[in-house]
């Protein structure tokens, strides 16, 4: 990745909008499945081979963390190999922890392997408050003692024992962390009101491939029968449903005709339903989808984000671009994260007619958007601005691209394959004047 986190020389995307997207594109592996699976490699002793892992900033951060813990994690063509046999630390470095919220996933695996873990409050996108209380609640129920000192969290357990754990909210991260801690615990663990996302099913399948005994992922009750040991394996990560959804929405917003390969339509049922309500034609055949939009999309009266299988918060900002170009009036209600309307001001600069009242966005469709210089404030907001730029009249410059790089493997190449005029500009570092 060429974008520099925390530096002055940040990449920009320059988009000449108004081109209809067409053609075929392959959807890369799911970031939100790969990150917990990379963390779960710590539960075994040996070499794990993971296929279909995207090359993203978050993936690189997780690999850096694993290497700092004594593992050997490396890319080898289209595969990541993680050798955990030399792992010798349970202290997750603060500098890397602050870069990515998903580093929290290492709590369960490190506790299971070493009986101890030290972490810091995680970082990530600024999209509202995302407490880790449910993670800590689940680990305590399994027998861990937890001590919090300033930003540091110390977690110890001489032995983990299975328990019945109810989550007050179906948190994806907490569900996955508890699963990973419980696989090596003594006895049976049951998680009720568990999150149901496909990425949790992928984690279950990976852990079971290593010898775990887990059933129920994809439902609200998951049962884990603890085992003594897990063995290394080879595994392929599922396709990224949010990347697929982003491409589908971009095709509709530009009134294009796009084919997506290597995707899972069953993971996108709620989005497909919304797009069909907007008048978009969707075709499905096994792992291939076609998206076609010949005219102006219709407004969708009301969309409410909610945990899977309802409409995903991670596609809220992208679909808002489509609604901003639709014929009529739409309402978008965000119920998952309170800070996820930061893209609205940027879309308004481009000509969108959107107003906010608490957790609802009221969208009156306009005929067209206009190019402007805008800033990606978080990962999905950045993707929405790229879609807006593709559909807009004139030139759009999207700044702070490092946010987008956290979840999309070179988003400019993805859309170039579909005929978009989008380029990444990397500033040349200033040379020091050594003459004086």
| Radius of gyration for the chain, computed over Cα atoms and rounded to the nearest angstrom | 22
Would residue 125 show up in a list of annotated catalytic residues for this protein? yes
Q: Are the beta carbons of 288 and 263 closer than 8 angstroms?
A: yes
SS3 199: helix
- What is the helix (H) or strand (E) element at residue 74, kind and residue range? strand 72-76
Structure tokens at 69: 């813990």
Q: Are the beta carbons of 420 and 395 closer than 8 angstroms?
A: no
Omega of the bond leading into 124 within 30 degrees of 0 (cis): no
- How many residues belong to the chain? 436
Q: Are the beta carbons of 255 and 20 closer than 8 angstroms?
A: yes
- What is the helix (H) or strand (E) element at residue 225, kind and residue range? strand 221-225
Given 71, 125, 233, 263, which residue is catalytic?
Answer: 125
Q: Are the beta carbons of 386 and 350 closer than 8 angstroms?
A: no
Place of tokens 């989808």: 289
Report the C-alpha gap between 305 and 340 in whole angstroms.
Answer: 11
Place of tokens 């380029």: 423
Q: Are the beta carbons of 91 and 156 closer than 8 angstroms?
A: no
Which of the residues are catalytic? 125
């Amino acid at each position: 990745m060429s974008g520099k986190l925390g530096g002055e020389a940040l990449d920009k995307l320059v988009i000449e909008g108004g081109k209809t997207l067409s053609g075929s594109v392959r959807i890369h592996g799911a970031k939100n499945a790969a990150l917990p699976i990379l963390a779960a490699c710590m539960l075994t002793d040996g070499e794990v081979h993971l296929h279909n892992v995207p090359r993203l900033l978050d993936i690189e951060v997780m690999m850096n963390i694993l290497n700092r813990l004594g593992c050997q994690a490396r890319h080898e063509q289209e595969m990541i190999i993680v050798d955990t046999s030399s792992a010798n630390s349970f202290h997750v470095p603060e500098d890397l922890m602050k870069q990515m919220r998903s580093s929290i996933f290492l709590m369960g695996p490190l506790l299971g392997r070493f009986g101890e873990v030290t972490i810091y409050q995680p970082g990530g996108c600024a999209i509202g408050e995302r407490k880790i209380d449910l993670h800590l609640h689940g680990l305590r129920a399994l027998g861990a003692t937890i001590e919090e000192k300033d930003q540091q969290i110390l977690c110890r357990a001489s032995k983990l024992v299975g328990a019945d754990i109810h989550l007050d909210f179906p948190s994806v991260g907490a569900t996955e962390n508890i699963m990973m801690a419980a696989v090596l615990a003594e006895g049976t663990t049951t998680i009720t009101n568990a999150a149901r996302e496909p990425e949790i099913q992928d984690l279950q399948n990976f852990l079971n491939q290593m010898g775990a005994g887990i059933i129920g992922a994809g439902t609200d009750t998951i049962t884990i029968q603890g085992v003594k040991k897990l063995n290394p394996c080879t595994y392929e990560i599922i396709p990224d449903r949010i990347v697929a959804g982003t491409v589908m929405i971009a095709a509709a917003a530009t009134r294009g005709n796009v084919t997506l390969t290597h995707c899972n339509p069953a993971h996108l049922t709620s989005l497909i339903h919304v797009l069909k309500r907007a008048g978009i034609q969707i075709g499905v055949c096994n792992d291939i989808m076609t998206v076609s939009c010949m005219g102006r999309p219709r407004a969708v009266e009301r969309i409410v984000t909610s945990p899977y299988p309802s409409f995903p918060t991670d596609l809220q900002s992208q679909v808002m671009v489509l609604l901003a170009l639709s014929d009529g009036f739409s309402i978008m209600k965000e119920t998952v994260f309170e800070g996820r309307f930061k893209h609205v001001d940027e879309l308004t600069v481009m000509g969108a007619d959107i107003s906010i009242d608490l957790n609802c966005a009221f969208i009156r469709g306009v005929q067209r958007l206009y190019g402007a210089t805008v800033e990606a404030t978080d990962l999905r907001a950045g993707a929405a601005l790229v879609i807006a730029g593709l559909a807009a009249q004139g030139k759009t410059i999207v700044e702070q691209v490092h946010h987008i790089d956290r979840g999309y493997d070179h988003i400019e190449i993805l859309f170039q394959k579909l005929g978009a005029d989008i380029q990444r500009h990397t500033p040349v570092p200033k040379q020091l004047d050594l003459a004086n």
